[in-house]
Amino acid sequence: MADRLYLRHSTDKQTDARQRHALAPLLAAGAPVYEDPATSTRQLSLDRAGFTRLLNEAAVGDTIRIADAARLFRSVADILALRPVLIRRGLHLRVESGLLSGIDLASDDPGTKMMVNVLAAVLEFQRDMISENTREGVAAAEASGKTLGRPAALDPDQAAKVVEAFGEGTAVKALARQHQVAPKTIRRVLDAAGARELPAQLDVLPDPATAQQPEPDPVLTLDLPGLLADHLLARGDETVRTALASGRTIRRGQGHSLRITAPLELHRTALQQAATLATDTASPAERKAHRVYAARITDAT
């Protein structure tokens, strides 16, 4: 028969220091410890991970020891569900401090059963009173004009800018980096403004058949100076080279041009890929050819 210690506290801001003090002799003796940190009493003990592990590892005759009854249960429903399980498994339950110390709360005799039910009712009443007092305190604070909770990470002007930027396509993580806050803060601001909500009815979405479509890229026929054509046929990407291969050579005296018909974007891409011919390292003729082609693109648009 072994002792098994159970510890629980309700929030991540609480500690189990007081419980460990009450259980100090057992801890010093090396009794195994099972914990459910930051776990509300509203979650039944049989649904808690730490207590479930304790039950799975306990043997007949073992004793579960807790610092006070509220660490394990605070409602009639909880103790009524817990006691039959402990009794079937042959386990004992003892509280180490207070009036209940020394009593096996898992005993099946009528006197213990009555006392446990009364205790659970008192603890449930205590929990309800705490909740009621909290609600009354919040209402009184709000009535007096006090702002409850932590200060907002973003002021109203910043929140408005976040909503506007999100509507223009800025990502949530980018907005979080810009304002030096967590992404969840940005999401809360957007959700409060309804910026991430989808339309309630699908029929309010624009009809693709009638929605305004972007204008197609215009197709232009331009003469590409021969110096640029030769450069691009050797160094341009495959798309540009394919367009040049379908062009028609135009002879002008000792020089030539390549007349090509292609979308405006391809002409601009070709001009960009020939950018080295506009630098000081290029010959005067090459720089002139680049200026001529750039002027033709500008004039055509």
| Model confidence pLDDT, tens digit, residues 204-233 | 445 555 556 666 778 888 888 888 888 888
Buried b (16+ CB within 10 A) or exposed e, 225-264: bbbbbbbbeeebeeebeebbeebeeeeeeeebbbebebeb
pLDDT band at 29 (very low <50, low <70, confident <90, very high): very high
- At residue 64, the pLDDT reads 95
Buried b (16+ CB within 10 A) or exposed e, 211-224: eeeeeeeeebebbb
Mean model confidence pLDDT for the chain: 82
Contacts 24+ apart (CB under 8 A), 107-115: 113/83
Reported pTM: 0.43
Q: Cα(144)–Cα(155) distance, rounded to whole angstroms?
A: 22
Report the pLDDT averaged over residues 262-268. 89
Q: Cα(16)–Cα(35) distance, rounded to whole angstroms?
A: 9
